[in-house]
Amino acid sequence: RWNSDNGDFPDGTYEISVVAIDDEGNRSAPAVITVVLDNVDDEAPVVVWYDTVADGIVISGTTYRLKAVGTDNVSITDFELRINSSLIGTYDPTSSSPQAPEYPYTFSYDWDISSVLDGDYVLQLVGIDGAGNRSEPAIATVTVSNTN
């Protein structure tokens, strides 16, 4: 496997030729391979709710920490959080989660639930990579219950 920064080469088909030369200057016949270069990142990230968030849970209190993890073939540059379809904000990912090493990008948000009405809330989180690819939303419906 050969990895290279291919920014200087446009997409296309290339032939790579390798010749071995020994200490006496003898040359082997060239070995030629054909490679296809595709610099386009068209793979979307994957994001899942993690730890404290699960579909159907009932939460109460003043603050509830939302956690999620994500992965991408290159990197996740942003997480976009929506609650009941309203954009709450766009957040930078944090470092990797030792509990979920297969998901190197983490999201954490402290949701102030002291000021929201009791009821069901749909949480949606989307990961966005540097090429603008968007993950399928991680969705969970939670119930806030602060009234006794």
The H or E element that residue 95 is part of is none
d(CA 36, CA 91): 36
* Structure confidence at residue 1 as a pLDDT band (50, 70, 90): very low
Q: What is the model's pTM?
A: 0.72
Q: What is the pLDDT of residue 59?
A: 95
- Contact assessment for residue 92 and residue 70, using Cβ atoms and an 8 Å cutoff: no
Confidence check: pLDDT of 9 > 90? no
Mean pLDDT for the stretch of residues 18-47: 88
pLDDT at 35: 84
Q: What is the pLDDT of residue 8?
A: 72
Highest mean pLDDT of the ranges 2-16, 40-54, 102-116, 130-144: 130-144
